[in-house]
Structures are given as structure tokens and as C-alpha cells.
């Protein structure tokens, strides 16, 4: 038995939705073409993970407009955990279902030409700029059925643009709050840094639908032009009822750098792709991911860095903790294309299993089409080291606390990379709840 992925949304619905959002004509046409393509495209086939029975079609596409927040104090406590409410960030956007509930950006950054807004406002006010990048250099509409459905049904997201020679010193933070337990999230995040610019972007996804079924189909495109630097942090925390497909794609040009620090803490079935193309010479990307799986969930994580430019550097670090009957696949792929001389592809994937029924699979893959390069990989799957446990317990620490210290140390290389202290603390709390 397979799940029917045919959706109850036709061309008339898509056209009406686009019109209601006052989208430019090119966006409406892109949606309609994507909807037509979706029927003929196959579903993605993640390695060693069968998704044919996963729910990708049972959801509500749109939700009534949610009210705006007059104060961050009105946020639920679990949302406030992402923020230092007493010292609220000045560059913050909160999306409540599909509605912008709160948005702020420092006037100094506005004066420098920085754009930090929801995707629908960006389409209305900066349509030509969005069109230049939207599903072109990063993720293509026709990669498979889920990318086409994303393009057709996109219903939220943000657009970030930093002009040439502008340095954004303070993080830009976005909270995507899936309040309606049945409404799907087809978010599109587009982050662009022009030549010699820099920024830090942090996003948080959260829902509470433990039983109601819905879908998150998320595409993120991060474009770093020559000598630009982008630090991207994310914490995904969808509840068990949400089936998640998330595709984060980076493109780095000459001397550019993209840093990824991702905490993937979903409780539902998840397919996650984090792929970076190092196009220019001396381009660099570090992709760091942690995940905790529990219950009966199934997860598939792929981190991939493709080297096109000479002397490019790519480093992948994946650490996962599994408990209960959870199963997870971790694919780390370094690919060096012909002509990318003197490039370096390194990767490390490690999985820690806390129960007899938990299953983890770490697959390091190197694909090398050039001779004059460096490459290396490491992978391990195992249980808590009894020697480490014995050492800590010999110092008077209980077994539970010793295991806790080992797990936090195991995940620390990614957790510590998150640039906002409140987000870092919140991720640590999520890890605590999921493991204990």
C-alpha cells in the first residue's frame, strides 16, 4: 500500500491563492507550471528509507489570518524560550501559521538597503530581485515531485537580502510557529549576500500537533556571492504529527563562505537534505548537524558538499543520538568535480544508540573526479562508551548524570556553533526532553 500523493488543489485554486497574495504574474505562472509538472515527476528516493507510506497529501493548505502580536510577552511560553524577551532582538520576524505576527529590523540596516521581510511582501515590493534567485541557482522546481509541489503550494517564508559591502553584525532571527495543528507549512526561505557582505541568520521551526497529521515541505536557498560570508543556524522542532521534507541548499561563489549549524529535533518522520555547491575558487562550507531520534520515527539526513571551484574546502560533521525504536540514516557526501584542483573534502558521521531497538546508519561517501585533491572521512555507530561511563561514575557521578554529560559532549560541536544564546539554550532543553 502506498499513500496517494495526488492533492485536492487544482489550477483554479492556485490562481486564486496567488491573486489573493497579490503576487506578480511570473510567480503565478511558476506555480501553475510546477503543479502541472508535479503529476509526472517521481517522489524522491532517499537512501535506505521508504517514504511511500508517509503522509505527504493529508493537510490543509491555508489557514485563517492569525492576529499580530502587540508584545512578545503575549507569546506562549514554549515560543518565548527562543527569545531573550527582556532583551528582545531588534532583527526579528515571527510567522504564525502563514501570517506575519511580528516583524522588526533596525533602521540602520534599512538605511543600508538590507531587506528582511516575509516572502509575500518581498514578492510585491521586490519582485524582480526575488525572481533573479527564486528556485534557479539553488533548488530546481523539477528535481522531483516534492520540489514541484513546494513551488506550486508555497504559503510562507522569508526573504533576506544584504547589498554589497554591508556587514550585518547582529543575527537576523525568524520563528516559524505552526500553531494550527492541521495546516501545512510550505515555507520558502531565500537568503542572498552580495559581494563582500556578511550576515548571520537563525531560524526556528516549532509545532505542537502530536496527533493531528500535516506536512512541512520546506525549501531554503542560501546564495553567497564573491567574498560574502553567511552563517546559517536552524533548530527544527516539529511535533510527531508533522511529516517533514526539508531541503536546504547553498551556493558559494569565489572566496565565499557558508557555515551551517543545524539542530534537527523533529518527532515525526523526516527527510532532510543539506547540500552546498562550492562554485568559485577558495569557496568554503562547514556543515554541522545534530539530531535526536526517539519513539518509532524514521529519519533520513543527507549532507553533501560539491566542489566545482579550485582550492575549495568542504567539511561535514553529523552527530546523531537514537533511542526507543527510532531509525536514522546519516549520509555524508563529499564530491569533487573534475577541475576542482587542490580542493579538500572532509566528513565525519557518528551515531550514538541508547536502546536495543534503536537503529542508526552512518554512510560516508567520497566521489572524486580530480587527482590533485585531499579527502577523508570517518564514521562510527555504537553505544555509550563504557570506559567513559566508568570514569565519570568513579568520580561519584550517577550513571544517569554520566550518560547525560556524555551525550551533551557528543552533541556540543554543533550546539555551541549556534550564534544566539537563547536558541542555543533552547536546543539544549529540547535535547534534554527528547533524551530523558
Say how far apart CA 248 and CA 372 lie, in whole Å. Answer: 29
Say how far apart CA 314 and CA 330 lie, in whole Å. Answer: 17
Q: What is the pLDDT of residue 86?
A: 65
Q: What is the pTM of this model?
A: 0.94
Say how far apart CA 115 and CA 110 lie, in whole Å. Answer: 7
Residue 436 exposure: Cα atoms within 13 Å on the Cβ side: 14
Residues facing residue 94 across a β-bridge: 102, 175
Does the pLDDT of residue 65 top 90, yes or no?
no
Contacts for 143 with CB less than 8 Å, ≥ 6 apart:
44
Does the pLDDT of residue 17 top 60, yes or no?
yes
Sorted by where each begins, the domain ranges of the chain are 11-384
Helix (H) or strand (E) holding 13: helix 11-20
Say how far apart CA 340 and CA 29 lie, in whole Å. Answer: 37
Q: What is the mean pLDDT of residues 236-251?
A: 96
- Whether 150 contacts 98, CB under 8 Å: no
Say how far apart CA 39 and CA 347 lie, in whole Å. Answer: 36
* Sign of the dihedral through C-alpha 35, 37, 41, 47: negative
Which strands, in side-by-side order, build the sheet including 257-264?
Answer: 99-104, 92-96, 172-178, 198-207, 229-237, 257-264, 284-293, 313-322, 344-353, 374-383
Length of the chain: 436
- The 10s digit of each residue's pLDDT in 204-223 is 999 989 989 999 999 999 99
- The 10s digit of each residue's pLDDT in 323-380 is 999 999 999 999 999 999 999 999 999 999 988 899 999 999 999 999 999 999 999 9
Q: What is the mean pLDDT of residues 33-39?
A: 95
Does the pLDDT of residue 8 top 90, yes or no?
no
Does the pLDDT of residue 417 top 60, yes or no?
yes
Q: What is the pLDDT of residue 5?
A: 52
Q: What is the mean pLDDT of residues 111-140?
A: 98
- Whether 208 contacts 177, CB under 8 Å: no
Helix (H) or strand (E) holding 258: strand 257-264
Q: What is the pLDDT of residue 423?
A: 80
Q: What is the mean pLDDT of residues 224-231?
A: 98
Does the pLDDT of residue 290 top 70, yes or no?
yes
Residue 76 exposure: Cα atoms within 13 Å on the Cβ side: 10
Amino acid at each position: 500500500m502506498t499513500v496517494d500523493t495526488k492533492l485536492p488543489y487544482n489550477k483554479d485554486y492556485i490562481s486564486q491563492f496567488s491573486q489573493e497574495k497579490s503576487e506578480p504574474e511570473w510567480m503565478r505562472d511558476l506555480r501553475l507550471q510546477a503543479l502541472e509538472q508535479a503529476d509526472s515527476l517521481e517522489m524522491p528516493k532517499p537512501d535506505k528509507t521508504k517514504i511511500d507510506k508517509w503522509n505527504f497529501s493529508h493537510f490543509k493548505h491555508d489557514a485563517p489570518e492569525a492576529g499580530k502580536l502587540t508584545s512578545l510577552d503575549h507569546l506562549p511560553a514554549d515560543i518565548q524560550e527562543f527569545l531573550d524577551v527582556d532583551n528582545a532582538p531588534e532583527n526579528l520576524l515571527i510567522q504564525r501559521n502563514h501570517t506575519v505576527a511580528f516583524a522588526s529590523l533596525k533602521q540602520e540596516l534599512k538605511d543600508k538597503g538590507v531587506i528582511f521581510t516575509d516572502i509575500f511582501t518581498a514578492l510585491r515590493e521586490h519582485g524582480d530581485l526575488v525572481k533573479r534567485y527564486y528556485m534557479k541557482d539553488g533548488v530546481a522546481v523539477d528535481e522531483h515531485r516534492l520540489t514541484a509541489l513546494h513551488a506550486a503550494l508555497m504559503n510562507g517564508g522569508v526573504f533576506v537580502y544584504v547589498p554589497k559591502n554591508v556587514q550585518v553584525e547582529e543575527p537576523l532571527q525568524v520563528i516559524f510557529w505552526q500553531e494550527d495543528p492541521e495546516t501545512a507549512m510550505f515555507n520558502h526561505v531565500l537568503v542572498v549576500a552580495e559581494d563582500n557582505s556578511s550576515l548571520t541568520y537563525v531560524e526556528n521551526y516549532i509545532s505542537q500537533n502530536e496527533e493531528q497529521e500535516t506536512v512541512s515541505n520546506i525549501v531554503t536557498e542560501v546564495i553567497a556571492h564573491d567574498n560574502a560570508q553567511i552563517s546559517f543556524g536552524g533548530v527544527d522542532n516539529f511535533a510527531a504529527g508533522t511529516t517533514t521534507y526539508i531541503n536546504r541548499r547553498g551556493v558559494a561563489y569565489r572566496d565565499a563562505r557558508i557555515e551551517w549549524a543545524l539542530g534537527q529535533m523533529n518527532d515525526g518522520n523526516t527527510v532532510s537534505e543539506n547540500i552546498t555547491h562550492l562554485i568559485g575558487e577558495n569557496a568554503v562550507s562547514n556543515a554541522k548537524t545534530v539530531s535526536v531520534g526517539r519513539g518509532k520515527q524514521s529519519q533520513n539526513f543527507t549532507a553533501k558538499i560539491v566542489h566545482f571551484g579550485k582550492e575549495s574546502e568542504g567539511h561535514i560533521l553529523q552527530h546523531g543520538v537514537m533511542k526507543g525504536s527510532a531509525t536514522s540514516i546519516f549520509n555524508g557526501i563529499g564530491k569533487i568535480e573534475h577541475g576542482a584542483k587542490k580542493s579538500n573534502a572532509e566528513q565525519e558521521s557518528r551515531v550514538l544508540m541508547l536502546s536495543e531497538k534503536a537503529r542508526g546508519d552512518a554512510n560516508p561517501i567520497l566521489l572524486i573526479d580530480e587527482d590533485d585533491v585531499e579527502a577523508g572521512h570517518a564514521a562510527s555507530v555504537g553505544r555509550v562508551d563504557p570506559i567513559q561511563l566508568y570514569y565519570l561514575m568513579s568520580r561519584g557521578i550517577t550513571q544517569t548524570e554520566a550518560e547525560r554529560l556524555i551525550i551533551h559532549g557528543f552533541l556540543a560541536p554543533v550546539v555551541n556553533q549556534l550564534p544566539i544564546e537563547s536558541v542555543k539554550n533552547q536546543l539544549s532543553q529540547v535535547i534534554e526532553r527528547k533524551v530523558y
